[in-house]
Amino acid sequence: MRRLWPCVVAVWAASAMHAAEKVTLEQALELADANHPQLQAGLAAVDAAKAGVRTARAYPNPEMNFLAGRQFGSSPMAPAQLYELIQPLELGALRGRRADLAIRGRDSSEFSLEEIRLAVRSRVRRSFFEVLRRQAEIAVAAENLKLVQDLRARVKVRVDVGESGRLELIRAEAEEAVARTAANRGQLQLVTALNQFRAAVGGGLGTDIELSGKLDPLMILPTPAELRQEALDRHPSFALARSEIRRAEARVEYERALRRPQPNFRTEVDQTNPSLRFGIGIPLPFWNQREGPIAEAQAGRKQVDSIARARENELDRKSTRLNSSH
């Protein structure tokens, strides 16, 4: 293990000779917003949800049928041709219910993206200040090592001239070894902190970086009750929970709207016996009245409501724990 420390220090010293790229907290947050894979996935989900809204608002396409064959009862059998145009009609605000469901899904994807962004930026901030803390510790350890080395040098002079015993020099050398070990350990901890910082940002950083910033002074936090209310009002996870409830309610209404028979308008052109006919087709819900999908949507509504209450209960538990610690 002793052979490893000089190698580590040599590598760090060689890298320090090159001009490192200075990175501020604001630059790190911008890089994370632009490059982090989780945020990219969240943005793609939002784009998909927006496309889903456009799809839900679209009117159903008509259907064109062409039938050809032979006419019975004629000798020889004459060719028969029939053209049919079918246009589905959406009644009972079905299209509006479908669009509302898609809009609620888009809202949920946007709140989910904000939750991901908040978590990513929080990890970037924590890892950034962790690196600053390690850098400050290295500076203190280096200063302490220099002081211990100066002390050992003075003790050695006193021992050489006979003013102090050999035991005092041994103690000074032991303190110097402890200080050097602490300094080397600090370098390794800094490397680990930098690697965690790179992982938190998600990409876009150079190979040789130096964080530019200072450790913030201690902040006076609001009371636990104020923190709880602010979390309920502003944290995206609670906004997402409320959005999921509205989305589940919209799904229930959409499934109920689908239970109503949706007619279709038909037009037929018969070229064999020249005629033009119009008609309406209506499905008869004898066997399937969508009890299953409606019950499934209602169960989903209860599920998201329970998840929202569980999040609030967890927030209350943390708020109570903060109150008891004050």
| Range 135-144, long-range pairs (CB < 8 A, 24+ positions) | 135/190, 135/211, 136/215, 137/186, 137/189, 138/183, 138/186, 138/187, 138/190, 141/179, 141/182, 141/183, 141/186, 142/183, 144/179, 144/182, 144/183
Residue 82 φ then ψ, to 5°:
-140, 130
Residue 18 φ then ψ, to 5°:
-85, 150
Residues 253-263 have pLDDT tens digits of: 999 999 888 89
**Could you please report the per-residue DSSP string of 193-248?**
HHHHHHHHH-S---SSEEE---PPPPP-PPPHHHHHHHHHHH-HHHHHHHHHHHHH
Supply the pLDDT for residue 121: 95
Supply the pLDDT for residue 163: 78
Given a cut of 60, whether residue 12 has pLDDT beyond it is: no
**Could you please report the per-residue DSSP string of 136-200?**
HHHHHHHHHHHHHHHHHHHHHHHHHTTSS-HHHHHHHHHHHHHHHHHHHHHHHHHHHHHHHHHHH
Angle at 74 between CA 72 and CA 77, to 5 degrees: 70
Domains of the chain: 4-216+260-283 (1.20.1600.10)
Query: Is residue 76 helix, strand or coil?
Result: coil
Average pLDDT over residues 63-74: 81
Supply the pLDDT for residue 19: 62
Residues 26-54 have pLDDT tens digits of: 999 999 999 999 999 999 999 999 999 99
| Percent of the chain with pLDDT strictly greater than 70 | 91
pTM attached to this predicted model: 0.78
Confidence of residue 226 (pLDDT cuts 50, 70, 90): confident
Average pLDDT over residues 143-153: 91
Higher pLDDT, 89 or 223: 89
